[in-house]
């Protein structure tokens, strides 16, 4: 197994979050005042890699087991509904 450095990216809206192949290791999701959700895809129009619904004013710490979620093209945030921010840990 290859070891890589873990880095983080702060996201506050939809679009390309990381424009390169990587592995998502974890996330911190901060929800806004209403229920919402996030959907992350493998590039714009690609397969859904991660999707979650949130409740209002909730902070969620998500650890991805094993080697993480493999992203072949780019980390693309398709849906960012009623969220304050998203921190993605990758490497």
pLDDT digits 0-9 by tens, 7-21: 999 999 999 999 999
pLDDT value of position 68: 96
Q: What is the distance between the alpha carbons of residues 65 and 81, in angstroms, rounded to a whole number?
A: 25
| φ, ψ (nearest 5 deg) of residue 13 | -175, -175
Q: What is the model's pTM?
A: 0.92
CA dist., res. 44 & res. 82, Å (int): 20
User: CB of 59 within 8 A of CB of 28?
Assistant: yes
Count how many Cα atoms sit within 13 Å of the Cα of residue 87 in the half-sphere of its side chain: 11
**Percent residues over pLDDT 70 in the chain:** 98
**What residues are paired with 27 via a beta bridge?**
62, 88
How does the average pLDDT of the chain come out, rounded? 95
């Amino acid at each position: 197994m290859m070891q890589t450095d873990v880095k983080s990216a702060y996201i506050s809206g939809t679009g390309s979050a990381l424009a390169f192949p990587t592995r998502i290791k974890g996330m911190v999701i901060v929800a806004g005042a209403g229920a919402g959700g996030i959907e992350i895809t493998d590039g714009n129009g690609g397969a859904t890699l991660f999707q979650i619904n949130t409740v209002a004013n909730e902070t969620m710490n998500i650890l991805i087991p094993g080697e993480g979620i493999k992203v072949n093209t780019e980390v693309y945030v398709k849906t960012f509904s009623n969220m304050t921010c998203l921190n993605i840990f990758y490497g």
